[in-house]
Amino acid sequence: MHPAATAVLQNVAQHAHLFLPCVFLAASVSTAVNTPERHSLLITSISWALVWIFSIIRAGVLAGLDNVKRRKSCWAAGALLALAQICDRAARDREGMWWAQAFLPAVVYFLLETDLWTNTGIVPAFIPLTDHAIDGHSSADKSTRTGSSRLIFVITVTAAIVLRTPYNTAPTSALGLSTVIFTAAGLVFFENAITSTKDAEKASSRGFVSANGSFSRRESMSGARQSHYLTSLRDVAIVMAVTTGIATFCMEDFRTEVLIWSPEIWDMEGGREDWRGVQGPGRMIRQCLVMSIVNALKSFLLFVTLHYQGALPTALIAVGSYLIARLQMGASFSGVWFLIIFGAASILFLFNPSSSSNASTDRRMTTRARRLLFLLVSVSFLVMLTKNFYGNVAFRSGDAMDPPSAFFDLPPESALGPIPLDTKLGHPIDQLIKSAEQDFRDLQDRQSKSLAAAVTEYRRRYGIPPPPNFDRWYEFAQRSGVELIDEFDTIQETLLPFWALKPSTIRARVREALGMEENALIGVLIRDGVTVKVEGGPEWQQKATVGMMSQFMEFLPDMDLAFNVHDEPRVVVPHDQLSQMVQAAKDQRMPAAFGNRTPRNKFSTRPKDMNDGKRIEDFKTTRFNRFAHQQTWTHSRMSCSPESPSRSYEDHTADNLTSYSATSLGFVYNASAFGNICNSPSLSHTYGFFERPNAYNIVHDLIPIFSQSKVSSYQDILYPSPWYWDTRVGYDETRDTTWDNKTDSLYWRGSTTGGFSRNGGWRRQHRQHIVQRLNAPDTAKIIVKHGQATPPDWQIEEVPRDDFKNVIDVKFSHLGQCDEGDCDAQKEFFEVVDRVDGQDAWKWRHLLDMDGNAFSGRFYAFLKSKSLVYKMAIFQEWHKEWLKPWVHYVPLSLRGDEHLEAVRYMSGEEDGRKQAEKMAMAGRVWANKVLRNSDFEAWFFRLLLEYGRLIDDDRELIGYAGP
């Protein structure tokens, strides 16, 4: 063997009492993070069965049966530790149970410092120590017991702070307390079982650990391998394996059919192993087997650590693993800081100055360190309380205040006209940016910091409890690092009218829609947490859609899902029927769900009207009508209120500019209102989707169709686009450059998508309108600062566009979706340039992004770049609450009066240039935080939990009550 390897092994063997607890800590962290909660009891049972097999091989079956007291301790320890596992599983709240474990060292310390165990007669008296160890417990040590108690207090408080998750329900509180007591008692019994061997009379020569947690010199690991030690491990292991095994079949959703591969799943893709979307049982089996082995290692190391260190150090290591695992789920400065304090307190508590050569000096230094640490944790605790108090006050006061928006103060100069801004307060863009940034900071500050807070906020917003498995979603979101834990209003708004329909009606309509192949839908059938059928649409979209569900599919109920293949939306319900459905949902269905204070945190079993998922039933009729290449405005405005401008009986009605437009140039101050087509009848002849969409299959009954984007008046269910999840248009950072090296102008290259052009229809489409407007040889309005007055005097002036042609580089690079005559006409009207590589866009500081046939597939790549994004969009996507205009991008109107001034200010004015670079970087940083695949999955996960409740026949009885 290599000399270096020999030296390493010798050092490991010499310091095994330090090395093995570190390995135990690593194994504990791994199990805390990676063990699937759904099968935790099964994994626990298997792991202890493996330990039992190992101990049987090493110690035999009959060894140690003559020691009755040791056997009683072993059986008691195994039963108590098993009960702790069962309570943990029953609570179904991992974070809450972690928080409860913070009190484990304190409970162990209490049990060790009392005589309750020996007085019962079940546990034998502790083994006497050597004379040296006895001397260690002199009066000087007794005088430091108060200091030890203080350190236990420090350890408990710091651990509880890092793992804090307040309990809101009595059952969870009781289970958390029970888990701690059972675990603590189990560790004490386990330690006594190890030390109470038939060779106890020889203990004085070996120096065992005492029950109060102090320790003297131990024998080597070879002694731990002796059979009379392993008999204790054997007896504890068999009780643990049997007890948790029984609980597995009683409590867990354990089905033997998921342990084999389904031929239908395998044949769906011809046996190809790269089919990422199909989530068969193989993944679950592999994870359970791996974690069973890791848990077996952890169980053996638990025994070794108890043998070398005792119950109290083992409890400290266990809590340390929970702390580290909690930080992996969601790191924070306070969490790291208090973890450091916890670690320091643990080391001080375990340090035994009496064993050193200069015990008196060491004891004084330890006492000073303990006092200093106690002071430090007290100050840190007070700072945290103060910060949380003022943060809560700010949140409460913020709820009662309107957003700090100065531009709401002045009324419009004419009916439905844009609102004016006071230019003495600064340039309109500067005002809009500052207001939006303040609103966004407030939004971030008021996000829930715990599962209990998220449940409370959910009830406050929506008036009902969260759906079943909301705790699983929260854990997934925390593990994924989701930034905005409460901002999912789009989901609720989209699904609200479906509450008026019976669950059976919703399910039947999905089957009907999927049953007609001409409906252009992807059908995804989920049974028992597995995708058993995927049919329709392009292969890449199938794989990406199902792949986006792969990480959480096991928590979904059985469901049939219909995904829209087309870019364009599909469902629009007439206003009178839609308003009745919304009213019924708010007044009848949802109050019934809110009235149930103890909902069942579990979806119902598969309803009788749902098949096994191996086939999609055929239907010979369809409610969808095809209107491709035809005008759609009449259909699209059907869900608008009769009082809205778009429902006017006149052909030409003014837009409601007051709702979204500021100043006569028309800066967009409310992007949601701008995207609401009910405010803007002019869209009927300026937007391609309403002129002649490239594809259009429409239905006027409420059918749950999942679409990647939609117009505001449609009732499609939005979900994160698989186009983005599959990175169909990516961002190559190696092709990007610094802000200073970029060309200071607005850049766009693209095609004439947006609608089909026939009989000159391209003149009524949005992309052609914007490209023509930005390149027109006419005049434009800008806002110019006059004089050097303070505050500055900003005034509107009219200038030739040619004066600023150097800041506009917007051109078509392809003509399509048009009849031959219309294509030729556009070639003559527009300057069409050669196609370019999409990654070339990063050479420009200002990037234009706008809708095509539907949403723009380049938006996320643009945001992740080091350039500033300008976006014109009518189509809504899932991210409405997560991406904020004037914070992460510049919103543009379709009229275009403000386009030139927006670019001019951001590139020509000193303040504007600073704002442009700042916003570009803010958009880039935020996009890398909230536009990851894990963010898409977390949003989709919550959407499908909400939808799963909608189609559950017991939807008014199910939900998540809280931790």
pLDDT at 266 (0 to 100): 32
pLDDT at 8 over 90: no
Q: Which of 261-265, 502-506, 533-537 has the lowest mean pLDDT?
A: 261-265
Q: Using pLDDT thresholds of 50, 70 and 90, give the confidence band for residue 11.
A: low
Strands 868-872 and 844-850: parallel
Q: Using pLDDT thresholds of 50, 70 and 90, give the confidence band for residue 458.
A: very high
In the chain the first and final C-alpha atoms are separated, in Å, by: 54
Compute the average pLDDT of residues 781-789: 84
- More confident: 6 or 49: 49
Strands 793-800 and 625-626: unpaired
* Model pTM above 0.85: no
pLDDT tens digits, one per residue of 553-575: 999 999 999 999 999 999 999 99
pLDDT at 268 over 60: no
Q: Using pLDDT thresholds of 50, 70 and 90, give the confidence band for residue 7.
A: low
pLDDT tens digits, one per residue of 632-657: 999 999 999 999 999 998 888 999 99
Please tell me the distance from the alpha carbon of residue 939 to that of residue 693, in angstroms, as a whole number: 29
Compute the average pLDDT of residues 20-33: 80
pLDDT at 503 over 50: yes
pLDDT tens digits, one per residue of 792-812: 788 899 999 999 999 999 999
DSSP state of 756: -
Please tell me the distance from the alpha carbon of residue 190 to that of residue 314, in angstroms, as a whole number: 11
Beta bridge partners, 710, equal 876
Compute the average pLDDT of residues 447-475: 92
pLDDT at 330 (0 to 100): 55
Neighbouring residues of 225: CB distance < 8 A, sequence distance ≥ 6: 58
Q: Using pLDDT thresholds of 50, 70 and 90, give the confidence band for residue 253.
A: low
Strands 559-564 and 661-662: unpaired
Provide the 10 A C-beta neighbour count for residue 453: 17
Torsion-angle region of 224 (φ positive above 0: left; ψ -120 to 50: alpha; else: beta): alpha
Only one residue has tokens 């375990």, namely 350
Please tell me the distance from the alpha carbon of residue 291 to that of residue 285, in angstroms, as a whole number: 10
pLDDT at 165 (0 to 100): 57
Q: How many alpha carbons lie under 13 Å from residue 673 in its C-beta half-sphere?
A: 15
Element (H, E) at 154: helix 145-162
Share of the chain above pLDDT 70, in %: 80
CA of 101: how far to CAs of 98, 104, 160, 347, 930, in Å? 5, 5, 8, 19, 32
pLDDT at 913 over 60: yes
pLDDT tens digits, one per residue of 172-200: 667 778 888 888 888 888 888 777 653 44
pLDDT at 787 (0 to 100): 73
438 alpha-carbon distance from chain centroid:
24
pLDDT at 498 (0 to 100): 97
- More confident: 178 or 357: 178
Q: Which of 443-447, 597-601, 719-723 has the lowest mean pLDDT?
A: 597-601
Share of the chain above pLDDT 90, in %: 51
Q: Using pLDDT thresholds of 50, 70 and 90, give the confidence band for residue 94.
A: low
- More confident: 70 or 467: 467
pLDDT at 376 (0 to 100): 81
Decide: helix, strand or coil at residue 885.
strand
pLDDT at 96 (0 to 100): 57
DSSP state of 604: P
Compute the average pLDDT of residues 60-84: 79
Contact, 318 vs 21, CB < 8 A?
no
Query: ∠305-32-940 over CA atoms, to 5°?
Result: 175
- Measuring CA to CA, which residue among 532, 496, 701 is closest to residue 615? 532
pLDDT at 909 over 80: yes
pLDDT at 93 over 70: no
DSSP state of 889: B
Compute the average pLDDT of residues 462-475: 93
Please tell me the distance from the alpha carbon of residue 933 to that of residue 724, in angstroms, as a whole number: 8
Please tell me the distance from the alpha carbon of residue 405 to that of residue 418, in angstroms, as a whole number: 15
DSSP state of 832: B
pLDDT at 363 over 90: no
Provide the 10 A C-beta neighbour count for residue 225: 12
Hey, CA dihedral for 725, 727, 731, 735, is it positive or negative? positive
Mean pLDDT of the chain: 82
pLDDT at 778 over 70: yes
Q: Using pLDDT thresholds of 50, 70 and 90, give the confidence band for residue 38.
A: low
